[in-house]
């Protein structure tokens, strides 16, 4: 059979990600024997072996690797469809207002552009309510895929636009953000190599998809933490020029001449039929 149930996909993904039936069963809140039977039934229906089982544990076959990748996308699509349908019908909003869009943005990024967009769109006839959903580093992509957001402001080269429709809104250079009293704060320009090799001032590390890159710099969780650590002389970072809007008096900025430009896009899932979303995109591209 060529059809799969979302329940089957959830069961399989739990085992494929844990590579352990006991942990997968605990994660799903069920007993292990019915989980094992469900996976065996799925393999019989598909006519392929998805998992190899031995005393050392569980491993994915080639077919299992394919279903792991495709199954995640399919579950995200099903979840997104349910969330956007509920939002369109007002089932997830007080008062049942269905005229609402969720806009995912990276916290403190492109603040002036975001404010202009919200003000311009609010002035449009029949404008939908816009809920701004701040996100962490590289989280907008996942929010679009699983339906938590209808549209997002994304920033190349940091965010991936693969699989989305998008329009370019803004292009800007990058700056080093340093403690105000640091000797390099007096420089007219810096290079990426210079910023990455400042004695006693290691680069801040942001997670990408939940994983921090290696390095001596502090692991950063949010914008406020970063701002304080820079002000205390514990770290340095490279940000788009628009970051100047949230900096403190204890910070200094220096242009980084060889950093790639940051391009802000408005991005949304392909094949959208939302009239409200189309109106927001028209407003954004007209700024």
pLDDT in tens, 166-184: 999 999 999 999 999 999 9
Tokens of 200: 């006693």
Q: At what angle do helices 275-285 and 111-122 cross, to 10 degrees?
A: 120
Given pLDDT bands bounded at 50, 70 and 90, which one contains residue 93? Answer: low
Alpha helices in 105-263 (DSSP H): 111-122, 140-145, 192-195, 223-231
Q: What is the pLDDT of residue 260?
A: 95
The whole model's pTM is what?
0.72
- pLDDT attached to residue 97: 52
Q: Are strands 151-156 and 100-106 parallel, antiparallel or unpaired?
A: parallel
**How confident is the model at residue 94, as a pLDDT?**
53
Comparing CA positions, the residue from 130, 208, 62 lying closest to residue 51 is 62
Rounded Cα–Cα distance for residues 34 and 228 (Å) = 51
The torsion angles phi and psi of 58, rounded to 5 degrees, stand at -125, 140
User: Under 8 Å CB-to-CB from 219, ≥6 apart: which residues?
Assistant: 205, 207, 212
Find tokens 């809104």 and name the residue.
Answer: 169
What distances in angstroms separate CA 227 from CA 106, 140, 181, one per listed residue? 15, 22, 15
Torsion, Cα 85 268 70 3, to 10 degrees, reads 30
């Amino acid at each position: 059979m060529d059809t799969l149930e979302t329940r089957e996909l959830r069961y399989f993904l739990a085992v494929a990600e844990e590579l352990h039936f006991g942990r997968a069963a605990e994660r799903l809140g069920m007993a292990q024997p019915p989980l094992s039977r469900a996976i065996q039934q799925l393999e019989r229906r598909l006519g392929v072996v998805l998992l190899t089982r031995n005393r050392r544990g569980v491993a994915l076959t080639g077919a299992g690797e394919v279903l792991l990748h495709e199954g995640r996308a399919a579950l995200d699509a099903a979840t997104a469809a349910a969330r956007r349908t509920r939002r369109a019908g007002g089932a997830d909003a007080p008062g049942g207002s269905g005229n609402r869009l969720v806009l995912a943005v990276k916290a403190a990024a492109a603040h002036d552009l975001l404010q202009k967009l919200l003000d311009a769109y609010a002035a449009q006839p029949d404008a939908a309510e816009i809920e701004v959903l701040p996100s962490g580093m590289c989280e907008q992509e996942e929010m679009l895929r699983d339906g938590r957001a209808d549209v997002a402001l994304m920033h190349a080269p940091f965010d991936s636009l693969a699989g989305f429709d998008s329009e370019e809104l803004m292009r800007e250079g990058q700056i080093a953000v340093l403690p105000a009293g640091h000797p390099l704060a007096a420089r007219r320009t810096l290079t990426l190599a210079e910023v990455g090799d400042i004695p006693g001032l290691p680069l801040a590390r942001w997670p990408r998809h939940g994983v921090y890159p290696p390095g001596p710099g502090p692991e950063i969780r949010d914008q406020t933490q970063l701002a304080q650590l820079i002000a205390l002389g514990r770290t340095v970072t490279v940000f788009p020029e628009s970051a100047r809007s949230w900096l403190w008096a204890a910070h200094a900025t220096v242009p980084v001449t060889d950093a790639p430009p940051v391009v802000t896009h408005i991005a949304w899932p392909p094949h959208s039929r939302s009239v409200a979303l189309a109106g927001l995109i028209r407003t954004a591209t007209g700024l």
